[in-house]
Amino acid sequence: MGVCAWIYGDAALEETFARIAGAGYDGIEIPGEPHRWTAGELRRLLTAAGLAPLGLTASCGFPATRRDLAHPDPGIRRDAVGYLVDCLHLAAEIGAPLVQMLPSGETRLAPLATREQEWAWSVSAMQQAGREAARCGVRISIEPLNRYEAYLVTNAADAQAYVTAVGSPWVGMTLDCFHANLEEPDIAASIRAAGPCLWHLHVADTNRRGLGHGHLDLAPIGEALDAIGYPGAVVLEVMPPGPDPFQSIKDQHSSAILDGYLHDSLAPLRTHLGTDHS
């Protein structure tokens, strides 16, 4: 059981690690900013907090960054691959098993060329990164985002088709229960359909708050994970209420609200999605 560190915004990473460990979680998903922290610094923080590195979260906001694998500009695609490769190297150095990556730029809601062209460009770019993933021994897990945050891969079926097109044993998929609540007719059925393609799971309630603050039914999700023999981490990715889905820290109260969500969510996670829940 882990937590995405990015939800605490620009807080000092040492403080964020301490919050997550203090709430009783086992691991952490670290922001994918390979030039912001050294591997040595991250290893030191992980050891001090007693947390396992569960992955890196690639940040692909566009046009704020040039991290768009599907962009018509080949220079932007090269930059995106380079960024992903840097994340893979950092993950390898700190012992993280995977890097989360988006098939297209976040906040870009329509193709600039055609969807077919951008799909092909993204798949080709991911194949390049997949070869480096094999050399590093670190997997890439692509995440479908809901239609209000991205456009190329928005649901589990899209993600499976994308992974199949890439054709690398080092590229699989993440399912995020918040996005899935918007896009999947039946989250548990989507998990069963994904099967061994599913490598990583993000969890938040239906309003992206802590578990118990919405209407997400965890029981069938846990049963579906059992049915596929899910081997990966379960990572809480929650946000305080308020506008702007891309900015977690809204005001001076946000961090305390997040602390409460972490506390509220741990028992339901262990009950329904933990290794001993069945």
pLDDT exceeds 70 at position 236? yes
For residues 213-242, give the mean pLDDT: 96
Q: What is the pLDDT at residue 244?
A: 85
Q: What percent of the chain has pLDDT over 90?
A: 95
Instruction: Say how far apart CA 59 and CA 84 lie, in whole Å.
Output: 10
Q: Which domain holds residue 234?
A: 2-273
pLDDT exceeds 60 at position 276? no
Spell out the alpha helix ranges (H) of 146-253: 156-166, 177-183, 187-194, 218-228
For residues 250-254, give the mean pLDDT: 94
Residue 35 buriedness (CB in 10 A; 0-12 / 13-18 / 19+): exposed
Is residue 80, in this structure, part of any structural domain at all?
A: yes
Q: What is the pLDDT at residue 76?
A: 97
Is residue 263, in this structure, part of any structural domain at all?
A: yes
Is residue 176, in this structure, part of any structural domain at all?
A: yes
Is residue 76, in this structure, part of any structural domain at all?
A: yes
Spell out the alpha helix ranges (H) of the chain: 13-22, 39-49, 74-94, 115-136, 156-166, 177-183, 187-194, 218-228, 254-273
Q: What is the pLDDT at residue 243?
A: 85
Average pLDDT score, the chain? 96
64 compared with 156, residue with greater pLDDT: 156
Binned at pLDDT 50, 70 and 90, residue 7 comes out as very high
For residues 171-183, give the mean pLDDT: 97
Predicted TM-score of the model (pTM) = 0.96
Distance linking the first and last C-alpha atoms of the chain: 16
> Are the CB atoms for 269 and 27 separated by under 8 Å?
no
Is residue 209, in this structure, part of any structural domain at all?
A: yes
- 96-151, pLDDT tens digit by residue? 999 999 999 999 999 999 999 999 999 999 999 999 999 999 999 999 999 999 99
Q: What is the pLDDT at residue 275?
A: 61
Is residue 278, in this structure, part of any structural domain at all?
A: no
Side chain identity at 93, as an amino acid letter?
A: E
The string over 103-115, giving b where at least 16 C-beta atoms fall within 10 Å of a residue's C-beta and e elsewhere, is: bbbbbbeebeeee
pLDDT exceeds 70 at position 278? no
Number of domains composing the chain:
1
Structure tokens at 246: 């891309």
Structure tokens at 21: 């460990």
For residues 53-70, give the mean pLDDT: 94
- 20-48, pLDDT tens digit by residue? 999 999 999 999 999 999 999 999 999 99
pLDDT exceeds 90 at position 245? no
Is residue 266, in this structure, part of any structural domain at all?
A: yes
Residue 57 belongs to domain with CATH number: 3.20.20.150
With tokens 């891309």, the residue in question is 246
